[in-house]
Amino acid sequence: MTQEAPVIAERQGALGKLTLNLPKALNALNLDMIDRMTAQLDEWEKDDTIACIWIDGAGDKALCAGGDVVALHRESGSYEEPRASRFVEEFFSREYRLDYRIHTYPKPIVVWGSGIVMGGGIGIMSGASHRIVTETTRMAMPEITIGLFPDVGGSWFLNRMPGRTGLFLGLTGAQFNGADALYCGMADRLLPSESKETLSATLAAQPFGSDVEHNRTLVSRVVQSLEMEEPARPPSNVRAHYDAIQNLTDAPTLPEVYRNIVNFQGNDEWLLRAAKTLKAGCPLTAWIVWEQLRRARHMSLADVLRMELALAVNMCSSGQVKEGVRALLIDKDRNPRWQPASLETVSRGDVERLFTSPWSESPLRDL
């Protein structure tokens, strides 16, 4: 592959390396990148000389800032003309299939999650066997701002966070750092950002063999040996705010939780920012977050991704995504005109329709 390719595939010893290579776009995922990564993982699974996979992002700003939402805006329906294009179905089907592949890959996968890791970037990172964050890591599932919802397995991993922190992060799109990711179970180790080359070189030099568990152990020991000392780590906002999050989300209905968060009266900047994002966000998304976590509580990962695929296609066809991306990235007026316009005007039927599969058989039925 040339250096201009959107995904660079190379080898370093027994390490197969995939680099997302759109640094000007913060390595946002497009369909070509998804397909290239999938094909390379398939090839390396059969290659006995590859013992471990490494995934990172070009540049020092991001692993991946999310999916190609501008393309989704172009291909999504509007409020006036609801439609689900073939592109939307293909994009999400192939993205979720890649995420599932990473979750179930037989060889160890190390993801270097430094800088911005949001949306689709979290989808790539969350299923890896060794998820690395650094002092520069900034993570979020900010889909409520564009009329989507926390997908790429969000129903799975948000449900596994401490207490109701997953609900709070899904509703508010609040950013969290590397220490937060460790606390929430979204990362395995926090390393100094300058240790990237040392880590990859050390991994490449390991005496890997044919035993996958032996190889996983070798990777774990190398990663652990470079972990950042506790005093140097950034403080965890989520851990520090755990009690406040529990209090704000301590209600049996979404409207009550919503009011608790958006009416927060303190002077804590992190909570105020979270409240502001929720208040300006898509009302339908808030209902989806509430409902997706309730429905997915005991689902398998495959069933979660099938549910999220139906949600993603339905949200894109309904006009929510076109309006959200328009306001944020196209016209940049930051004044989305959501329909329905408020939490109270969303009906139970509106929510049920979004969870109704548009197919007799899911495109992900074989997962």
Q: What is the pLDDT of residues 132-146, one digit of tens each?
A: 999 999 999 999 999
Percent of the chain with pLDDT over 70: 99
pTM of the model: 0.95
Confidence at residue 2, expressed as pLDDT on a 0 to 100 scale: 46
Residue 1 pLDDT more than 70?
no
Quote the distance between the C-alpha of residue 119 and its chain's center. Answer: 3
Residue 81, amino acid: E
Hey, what domains does the chain have and what are their CATH numbers? 7-355 (3.90.226.10)
In DSSP terms, 138 is beta-bridged to: 116, 177
Whole-angstrom CA distances from 274 to 118, 166, 181, 255, 291 are 16, 13, 17, 16, 20
CA pair distance 302, 328, nearest whole angstrom: 31
Whole-angstrom CA distances from 163 to 49, 167, 246 are 43, 9, 7
Q: If you average pLDDT over residues 258-268, what whole number do you get?
A: 96
Q: If you average pLDDT over residues 340-345, what whole number do you get?
A: 96
Q: If you average pLDDT over residues 294-311, what whole number do you get?
A: 98
| Cβ neighbours around 264 below 10 Å, total | 17
Confidence at residue 345, expressed as pLDDT on a 0 to 100 scale: 96
CA pair distance 172, 97, nearest whole angstrom: 27
| Cβ neighbours around 260 below 10 Å, total | 15
Confidence at residue 350, expressed as pLDDT on a 0 to 100 scale: 96
| Residue numbers annotated as active site | 67, 120, 143, 151
Contact 108, 219 (CB under 8 A): yes
DSSP string, 172-230: H---EEHHHHHHTTS-SEE--GGGHHHHHHHHHTS---S-HHHHHHHHHHHHHHTPPPG
Place of tokens 């948000």: 158
pLDDT confidence tier of residue 3, bands split at 50, 70 and 90: low
Q: If you average pLDDT over residues 269-286, what whole number do you get?
A: 97
